Amino acid sequence: MKIGYARVSTAGQDLTVQRDGLVALGVDPENIHVDHGFTGTNRTRPGLREALASCRRGDTLVVTKLDRLARSVIDARDIADELTRKGVAPESRRQHL
pLDDT digits (tens, 9 = 90+) for 12-58: 788 999 999 999 999 999 999 999 887 767 778 999 999 999 999 99
Whether domain 2-92 has CATH 3.40.50.300: no
Catalytic residues: 9
Residues in Cβ contact with 61 at an 8 Å cutoff, skipping those fewer than 6 apart: 3, 4, 5, 51, 52, 55, 83, 88, 89, 90, 91
Domain segments of the chain as ranges: 2-92
Q: What is the pLDDT of residues 70-92, one digit of tens each?
A: 988 899 899 999 999 999 998 88
What integer pLDDT is reported at residue 37 of this predicted model? 83
